[in-house]
Every structure is written in C-alpha cells, then in structure tokens.
Amino acid sequence: MSAPLAIETEGLGKRFRGRDAVQGVALAVPTGSVFGFLGPNGSGKTTTIRMLLGLVNPTAGSASLLGAPMPRGAAGVLPRVGALVEGPGFAGYLSGAANLARLDSADPHADPRSRRRRIGEALDRVGLAAASGKRVKAYSLGMKQRLGIANALLRPRELLVLDEPTNGLDPQGTREVRALVASLASSGTTVFVSSHLLAEIEQMCTHAAVMRSGRLVAQGTLAELRGSAGDDRLHLLTPDQEEALTALAAAGLTGVRSGPEVVAPLDGRPIEQVVAALVAADVRVRGVRTTEASLEDRFVALTGEGFDVES
C-alpha cells in the first residue's frame, strides 16, 4: 500500500490570456516529507501554489490537499494548512504581536481564549519573542519573513506551504528558516517549500520536484533526482590529455571534456576498470577521483538551463 499524499495533482493547468502558465502538472507530495518545489523564477511555481490553496481556479486537471479536493474542499481543509505565499504583508504601524492578533481575530476557526498564548508560542518558535512589541516597519526583511511563518503557525498545521521563504534573507536569516523547517518536519508537519535556490533545496528537503516553463520535468527523493551511481564522474589529472581523451573514448565513455582536469561520466563502469584502460594506453595518471552527480548537474540535464545555486 502506497504512503498517503499530503498534496496530489493530476494534469493541473492554468491559462492566462490564451497562454499556458502551468500545464499538465502531476505532483505527489508524501505525508511527512520536506518537499522542495524548484525552478527558475517565472517557471510556474507560484501559480501552482495558488491553485493548490484555492486562490486561483485551475483551467485543467485537479488538485487535493490532505485528501480534500481543491478548491471545493477549501473550507474544510485550509484550517489544517498554513501558508506563506508571495511574501508576508503586515501593517507597519502595528507590532509583530498586534499584527498576529489582528490576523488571528479574522480567522473564524481561531479560539480567542487561547489567542495570547498561541501568539506567544508562535513568536517564540520563530525567534521573534524579544521583538514582539516592536513595530513591524522596523523589522528587517528576515524578521518579516519569520513573522509570516509565525502567522502560519498560530494553529496546529498538518501541512505548511512556504513560497520562497528565504527570499532576500542574509545567511543568518536563511539558517534560521532552515532550522525552523527542520523543527516543523520533526514534529510531523509536511512542509512544501518553493525555491529557485538549489542549495536551499539540498539542505532542507527530503524530496523535490522541478518546474520548467510551466511544466513538471522531474520529481522524487533527492537521491532519485541526483541519479544512481551510474551518474558518477571521473576526474583525471594527467599531462597526456589528448591520449586520455582517446583512451576514454575507446573504453566507451561519452561526454568527456578536458580542462584543468579530464572529466568523464562513468556510466556505471568501475573506476578501477577505467584507470586500467588509461594505464594500458600509456596515459600518465597523476591523480584520479570521482564525484557524484549534483542536483545542479541533474537539473541542467533535465531542463537545459541553470539555476541559482546560492542566495
């Protein structure tokens, strides 16, 4: 029996003014995972998230959150879902705590009797307890992002959807958000994180999906997306680069490139076998090592374009 899914879509699509912004998306987000939704800016990530949350109606396909069809089941399921989409928006003249109280009072499912306690716990969880009385207009961008996450945590959530949660943050703020996501995941919350930063996905997530030009081009665990050991690469240091290229081609390796090192995909071949072929061809081997294919390598291969790898 397959594991339950926190998010599931089939053929999900959205057209704007005759143009497909999102087309044929089939997501499968396992319950309990930290799922990275990766793609360049403009690849359709935010439009997809807005459809998942019932903020935009799809023009094709279907979506469900926690087993409930969207947008039809929004009223029943959204109280179990926290979200931070397209950055937080708060009243700058109010304090962080007052902003949360204002938003919580507008939630018909929130219990006013526990409001003060819940706000205090949410602010403490995101590291803003000491700044709770400060006006939001004095908050840094990182503090505003964390306040947005605190708002999503005012009630217990089974699913948390974060759209670019580290956007504009300094390294310290990024580490804090990363630690918060890990803490939420350890408590059993499924976290769906949209980002255009490869490094963030690699450090935060257990699973990921890749969008390109409105289409889903890959998804799975990080190990599955990186590929198997057959994607490992040989790095060879030798003064005989031309001879090495010839010997590697004769050994059946393709995609070999030269530079400071000769680099060749091993395609599942044992490195000992490849080195033996080089030695047999009288190639002088000064150094040899292997590296695993990175997410960046995999995504460039899938999409034909690069991604930002750091903020």
Residue 311 has pLDDT above 50, yes or no: no
pLDDT of residue 187: 85
Sequential DSSP letters for 3-57? PPEEEEEEEEEEEETTEEEEEEE--EEETT-EEEEE--TTSSHHHHHHHHTTSS-
- 104 & 199 share domain: yes
CA separation, residue 58 to residues 28, 63, 154, 171, 210 (Å): 17, 9, 29, 36, 20
For 104, the token pair is 């919580």
CA distances from 234 to 83, 191, 230, 256, 266 (A): 43, 36, 11, 9, 6
Average pLDDT for residues 211-219, to the nearest whole number? 90
85 and 21 in a single domain? The answer is: yes
- 116/95 Cα distance (integer angstroms): 14
Same-domain pairing of 236 and 212: no
Residues 105 and 246 in one domain: no
> 231 or 105: which carries more pLDDT confidence?
105
- Give me the DSSP letters along 237-305: E-S-HHHHHHHHHHTT--S-B-SSSEEEE-TT--HHHHHHHHHHTT---SEEEEEPPPHHHHHHHHHSS
Could you tell me the residue range of the domain that residue 67 belongs to?
A: 5-226
The average pLDDT across 78-106 equals 90
Mean per-residue pLDDT of the chain? 87
Residues 45, 155: one domain? yes
Q: How far apart, in whole angstroms, are the C-alpha atoms of residue 236 and residue 258?
A: 9
Same domain, 174 and 278: no
Using pLDDT thresholds of 50, 70 and 90, give the confidence band for residue 219.
very high
pLDDT confidence tier of residue 310, bands split at 50, 70 and 90: very low
What is the predicted pLDDT for the residue at 309? 42
How many CB atoms neighbour CB 116 within 10 A? Answer: 12
At 117, which CATH number? 3.40.50.300
- 113: in domain: yes
Instruction: Say how far apart CA 258 and CA 69 lie, in whole Å.
Output: 52
Is residue 67 domain-shared with residue 138, that is, in the same domain?
Answer: yes
Work out the average pLDDT over 141-152.
88
Which residue type is seen at 16?
Answer: F
Q: Which of 102-106, 127-131, 142-146 has the lowest mean pLDDT?
A: 142-146
What is the pLDDT confidence band of residue 199, given thresholds at 50, 70 and 90? Answer: confident
Selected residue with higher pLDDT from 235 and 169: 235
Model confidence over 17-50: pLDDT tens digits? 889 999 999 999 999 999 999 888 888 999 999 9
How many domains is the chain partitioned into structurally? 2
Of the ranges 19-33, 48-62, 122-136, 199-213, which one carries the lowest mean pLDDT score?
199-213
Cβ-count burial 179-198 (b if 16+ within 10 Å, e if not): ebbeebbeeebbbbbbbbbb
Residue 118 one-letter amino acid: R
| pLDDT top residue among 117 and 223 | 117
- Rounded to whole angstroms, the Cα distance separating 53 from 33 reads 18
Q: Tell whether the model's pLDDT for residue 257 goes beyond 90.
A: no
Instruction: Quote the CA–CA distance of 34 and 159 in Å, as a whole number.
Output: 10
144 and 241 assigned to the same domain: no
Q: Is residue 301 part of a domain?
A: no
- Do 146 and 14 belong together in one domain? yes
pLDDT over 70 for what percent of the chain? 90
Q: What percent of the chain has pLDDT over 90?
A: 50
**What CATH number does residue 260 fall under?**
3.30.70.980
How many residues can be counted in the chain?
Answer: 311
Which is more confident, 215 or 227? 215
219 and 248 both lie in a single domain: no
Inside any domain, residue 306: no
Residues 37 and 169 in one domain: yes
Name the domain boundary from 226, 242, 266: 226
Q: How confident is the model at residue 299 (pLDDT cuts 50, 70, 90)?
A: low
The CA–CA distances, whole Å, from 2 to 30, 112, 115, 311 equal 10, 39, 38, 36
